[in-house]
Chains A and B, each alone.
Chain A
Amino acid sequence: MSRLVARVLKMELWRGTAPVAALSIAVAGIATLFNMSEYWAGRWAPLAENLRMILIVLVPLAAAAGAWQGGRERRRRIGELLGSTARSPWQPLLVSWTSVVLGTFVGLAVTWTAGAALVAPVATYEGRHWWWSVVVAFAGLAAASAVGLAVGRLIPNRLVAPILGIVFYVVGGVATYQSGGTQWLMPTVSNSRDGASYLEPQFQLIQITWLLALAAAALVVVGARRRWLSTVPLAVAVVAAIPIATGPGDGRWQPDPQARELVCADGEPQVCLARVNAFVLDDVAPKVREMLERWEGVSGGFERAIDRTSLSRDERRRAMPGNGPQGDEMPDGEQDHASVTEPGVDLERTVVLDLDNLISWNATLARRSEHGKTLELVVAEAAREAYGCEVGAGVPEAAWTAMSVARLWAAGMSDEQPGDGTWVSQEETQAFEHLRSLPEAEQKAWMGDYLAAARDCDHAALTELAGELR
């Protein structure tokens, strides 16, 4: 690149849409990324996944910036003057596009760097292939700005930029609602995988090819004198799009056994988190141990806690009340992975820790999540999850009461409401008060009986247990 071209690019960078694009993408990016920091703080792969998620806002911004830049020649009525110059039109177009792309790239880079600054000091797992996800995000902005530039050139209206932005937003939204492979045609990712899964680099290379070929096709259509030349990149784009669109949807996620490997805190009882979440282990372990102590002396009581992220799908289902599938967050199609728990470990007596939302922006354990969840409530949930039958209309009222009381007991609640959106009725509170008023040994005996009855789905026994507390 000659120095003259460099100077022309510099002019476009400072005088064109690039600064506005960089600023708006950085502001929108940081605002959205940090609004959901609990999903990625301290973890590399989730940072990349969330960067792809916020593209649902950033891609429309890039498209709008491209369209605004593309409409500039017409807005400024300079086409006449440009038409009399020797240089082929694709060259100024390319410089103009490069400036917008660099602007959007700066915005995205600032966003990612802000996130990385919070991840780097604490991350306990380096992640697998997530940088390819970041590259796809950049390619996505490049494609969006190219398509925007082309549309801005072709449609003579000032409102093209905002309307194209909103259209891109709608298309992106619809794409994330698809369960099949078509969702991958947009660079946007529909939801985060908590770093426990990854996308194959080969697949992401195909995505990059598709996006960049699309960008090239859009630029050739408006830039080249021979418009038919755009069929070449268009053909490449279509060839790349076919395996993407016809391939699996959520099934593209591969389980990452290393990320799910259990890392256990020193000492007893056992408290283990997945390697990807291990940076909060020091915060989590003492609190969980304190809560596990309550179960000492309860027959069949819980004696270890492990991270939900580490469980295979089957194990997660077994940990659900009524053994799922209802409430199972794992979408169909995602590849399962082998059990990482040691053979012979009794899942029945294991507390499943679901740390979702419980990690705060500075990568420490949040006292209470946005939704009111606390670590205490998460651990106590095990008492309710012990119930082994289908949850539904057939469960007698008294069984619900028993489950609720057991949970309150496990959480060590006093009179207050849990505050996580669950509501404790007057009757349940009274029953719980009754249980607390008993001597400790009797409390533990009741809890032991409860666990046994719950695991066997013995409704009669549960009703009787609830009756004891009336």
Chain B
Amino acid sequence: MNASTMIGTHVDVRDLVVEFGKRTALDGVDLQLDTGVHGLLGPNGAGKTTLMRVLATVARSTSGSVSLLDHDLSKQRDLRMVRRRLGYLPQQFGYYPRFTVREFVEYFAWLKEMTPSAVPLAVDHAIERVGLADRADDRLKKLSGGMLRRAGIAQAIVNDPDVLLLDEPTAGLDPEQRVEFRELLRTIGVDSCVLVATHLVEDVAVACTHVTVVSDGRAVFRGTPDDLVAAGEDTSDGDSPIERGYTAAIRAARKR
């Protein structure tokens, strides 16, 4: 954790372009993130998930530079250093149904090349933080959708990541669980960079210190949740101030 204080910029994306064949998913994104909880908002198909996948080192950029924790992702050796310090919960969360929660989290602790001696404690801690301590020895196939998400979050945070990427983490969580989850995000965000992709605008309003809005493959808004609220003062589309800000940001981008 001390390592995080040494890091200049946690996430540094410059002019990122990702193309799948003829389709352009990301079209020149710039993004610099430090510690704190960052919200990534945007309509479906805007490129949120693609951006998350690039940052999670599972998708490759067509052009532009991406560096995480001061390591350039285009270098194979650096990639391994970054991945050790990374936590990722994909939108389509796959799992082995016959593993227990504890086994699943431990398996990922191993995959993240954690120090073996630190693993048992870290696993217990991660499971406790997501509130699954009483279900730790249940098979994953016996868990409900919300519990599965939490098991997914547990594997993401087991290595105390410096960069934590969560793609739609609140899907399937009930209101109470979401409150607890936001609390968890705030604690992790103290000394890590947490990036949460979601289209639940309220989550962002409450839990995030920074917001980025993505539309049509570009970052069209960057600022604090308050900035986003301010941006929406002129419109009436949306049920909450932040929803109005979000709608306004998207519309402004489309007009351009």
B contacts, CB < 8 Å to A:
53, 56-58, 80-81, 83-84, 86, 88, 90, 92-99, 103, 106-113, 116, 119, 155
Contacts and interface: CB of A to CB of B under 8 A. Distances in A.
A426 interface: no
B84 A81 contact: no
A393 interface: no
A90 to B, nearest CB: 12
A86 B53 CA distance: 15
Contact of B83 (A11, A76, A80, A84): A84
Nearest to B91: A80
A81 B103 contact: no
Contacts of A82: 111
B103 A11 contact: yes
Interface stretch (A2-10, A230-238, A454-462): A2-10
Instruction: Determine the interface band of chain A, counting residues with CB < 8 A from chain B.
Output: 20 to 34
B94 A87 contact: no
29 contacts: A2-B116, A3-B116, A4-B106, A5-B110, A7-B106, A8-B106, A8-B110, A11-B103, A11-B106, A11-B107, A15-B103, A16-B98, A73-B94, A76-B94, A78-B94, A80-B53, A80-B90, A81-B108, A81-B155, A84-B56, A84-B83, A85-B83, A85-B113, A86-B80, A86-B83, A86-B111, A86-B113, A87-B110, A92-B111
A314 B81 CA distance: 73
Contact of A15 (B57, B90, B98, B119): B98
A371 interface: no
A2 B110 CA distance: 11
Interface of A: 2-5, 7-8, 11, 15-16, 72-73, 76-87, 92
A72 B111 contact: no
Given A8-B106, A76-B94, A86 B116 contact: no
B112 to A, nearest CB: 5
A5 to B, nearest CB: 7
Contacts of A7: 106
B200 to A, nearest CB: 22
Given A8-B106, A84-B56, A87-B110, 11 more contacts: A4-B106, A8-B110, A11-B99, A11-B106, A73-B94, A77-B92, A80-B90, A84-B57, A85-B111, A86-B84, A87-B112
A81 B99 contact: no
B95 to A, nearest CB: 6
A15 B110 contact: no
A80 B92 contact: yes
Nearest to A74: B94
A419 to B, nearest CB: 53
Contacts of B94: 73, 76-81
A11 B106 CA distance: 10
Contacts of B113: 85-87
A90 B217 CA distance: 35
Interface-centre pick from B57, B83, B86, B94 (highest chain A CB count, 10 A): B94
Contacts of A15: 96, 98-99, 103
A11 B113 CA distance: 17
B61 to A, nearest CB: 15
A76 B95 contact: yes
A368 B131 CA distance: 69
B88 A81 contact: yes
